[in-house]
Structure 1
Amino acid sequence: MGKIRNPQYRIVVADSRTKRDGRAIEYVGIYQPKFDPSVIEVKSERVQYWLSVGAQPSEAVQRILEKTGDWQQFKGLPAPPPLLVAPEKANRQAAYEAEAKAAAGIAETPAKSTPKKAKAEKPAAEAKAEKPAADADKTPAAPEVAEGRPSDTKAVDPAEPNREAVAADAKDPAGAGADAS
């Protein structure tokens, strides 16, 4: 089964006299080697039944059954290490709903919380004691100096027009100071 560069196999029980791709007696599993890790799904109890009644697996199917541990179980050998299992895919709808609730929770949180009541409940003595401590924490902000720049540089607000250019335009509204070529 499958398509070009994406093989997929069915594990089937078939009569040895039928065609290779002919009618199968029962489908007992799938094997998809291109996934990481490979997908191997086998109906273990049905495989055990067919092996017990004399079914002979092909070499490829026997290797798959050895990976899943069904061949060892049939032969009475120790089980192989467990197969790697792909991580479960996240439910996209559940993730979307969780994000929507979180966004709604953020929008509702300011309306529900009442910080003014919390401040009003404190005794006046505690409020006075906290006020000087808050003032002590405040230190005059030093101008931010970027590395390699002089300390007298000003931060330029891109939304605010250039005051020097506005002042120059006010003095010379006709633009007479511009070079006429």
Structure 2
Amino acid sequence: MAVKIRLTRLGNKKRAFYRIVATNSGTRRDGKPLEMLGYYNPMTNPIEVKVDTDKLKKWMEIGAQPSETVKSLLKDYLK
């Protein structure tokens, strides 16, 4: 089964907070992740994104594919 890097939702109603996680592609959105790589908080101004680059590189080398949303966040974050 392929490994994906994607967001998992936390927080209350209308106060979303997301973790960036590595997980199997078949698991549900809020299922148990293989590893937490960082977080994304859209409720702050400016938007807060924190990623552990060492863990991210490790998973990318193994072959994990980021989702479109994570790809755009990383593109903006890793400038």
Normalised by the size of structure 2, how large is the TM-score?
0.82
Percentage of identical aligned residues: 36
The counterpart of 1:59, out of the listed 40, 46, 68, is 68
Q: Which of structure 1's runs of 4+ aligned residues deviate more than 2 A?
A: none
Equivalenced residues, count: 70
Aligned twin of 1:17: 26
User: Does 2:3 match 1:2?
Assistant: no
Q: Cα RMSD over matched residues?
A: 0.9
Structure whose CA Rg is larger: 1
Aligned twin of 1:68: 77
Considering fraction of residues, name the structure with more strand.
2
Could you tell me which runs of 5 or more consecutive residues in structure 2 were left unpaired when the two chains were aligned: 1-9
Aligned twin of 1:29: 38
> In structure 2, what is the Cα distance between the partners aligned to 1:43 and 1:15?
19
Considering fraction of residues, name the structure with more helix.
1
State the Cα distance separating 1:21 from its structure 2 match: 1.2
> In structure 2, what is the Cα distance between the partners aligned to 1:25 and 1:52?
15
The counterpart of 2:52, out of the listed 22, 43, 52, is 43
State the Cα distance separating 1:20 from its structure 2 match: 1.8
Structure 2 SS opposite 1:31? strand
> In structure 2, what is the Cα distance between the partners aligned to 1:39 and 1:20?
21
Normalised by the size of structure 1, how large is the TM-score?
0.37
Could you tell me which runs of 5 or more consecutive residues in structure 1 were left unpaired when the two chains were aligned: 70-79, 81-181
Counterpart of 2:38, as a letter, is G
